[in-house]
Amino acid sequence: MNRNILLKDLKRRDYKETWDYQTELLQEIVDVKINNRRKNLSETTENHFLFVEHPHVYTLGKSGDLSNLLLNEKQLEEKGATFYKINRGGDITYHGPGQVVGYPILDLENFFTDIHKYLRLLEETIILTIAEYGLKGERSSGETGVWLDVGTPFARKICAMGIRSSRWVTMHGFALNVNTNLGYFDNIIPCGIRGKAVASMEAELGKKLDLDEIKEKILKHFKALFEVEEFIIK
């Protein structure tokens, strides 16, 4: 089993370009696995972790409802935003500047073959990360992601998650609102959940935060939780 992960920070990158890149990496891993099984080989599969910050974009998961996007094409254009219907789980969300977006493209057969555990460990990674800033992240029953003040009228989501997997290889991932302009969420029903607000670390703490510092903390907790041997900068 290969528990090393190739790490790449794509900085600011177009959503579609990044989606295509994720798909390419996933397919490379799947092809190795198919070849191994057909020819009884044991070639090692790679794991990847991408950080990225997207320009304003709304994405709708495969089970999502288009009516949760509250803008038409002209209004999207006026806001400088794009829209894509994509192949992850979940409903609609927003990505934009000031978010830390992480896309682990892992062969889970290198770690564990349990999608439920994978999602819970992704949530735990974020919960531990924001705890370092004094924020108490929590899970909300039946609602993937990380929330604040669960069980109160003030419950709000600070980190959205949605994934896809093929032959135990993952893609897509999480989007943590750090210095995010939350006004863009007003144009959707986030994750298809009415009456639930969104949060950012900046709004909660009253100050802008260093994205690179947060990425380092995410990697530290991800490494411990997933028992990663080493992150190798690509």
User: Where do the domains of the chain lie, and which CATH numbers do they carry?
Assistant: 4-233 (3.30.930.10)
Q: Catalytic residue at 191?
A: yes
- pTM of the model as a whole: 0.96
Q: What are the backbone dihedrals phi and psi of residue 11, each rounded to the nearest 5 degrees, phi first? A: 55, -140
Under DSSP, is residue 9 helix (H, G, I), strand (E, B) or coil?
strand
The pLDDT of residue 234: 86
Q: Which of 5, 57, 69, 191 is catalytic?
A: 191
151 assigned ligand-binding residue: no
Q: What CA–CA distance (Å, rounded) separates 154 from 22?
A: 35
Tens digits of pLDDT across the chain (234 residues): 999 999 999 999 999 999 999 999 999 999 999 999 999 999 999 999 999 999 999 999 988 899 999 999 999 999 999 999 999 988 899 999 999 999 999 999 999 999 999 999 999 999 999 999 999 999 999 889 999 999 999 999 999 999 999 999 999 999 999 999 999 999 998 766 666 799 999 999 999 999 999 999 999 999 999 999 999 998
Rounded to whole angstroms, what are the CA distances from 57 to 115, 136, 164, 211, 232?
26, 28, 19, 19, 29
Q: Which residues pair with 232 in a beta bridge?
A: 6
94 assigned ligand-binding residue: yes
- CB–CB of 25/105 below 8 Å? yes
92 assigned ligand-binding residue: yes
Q: What CA–CA distance (Å, rounded) separates 182 from 203?
A: 9
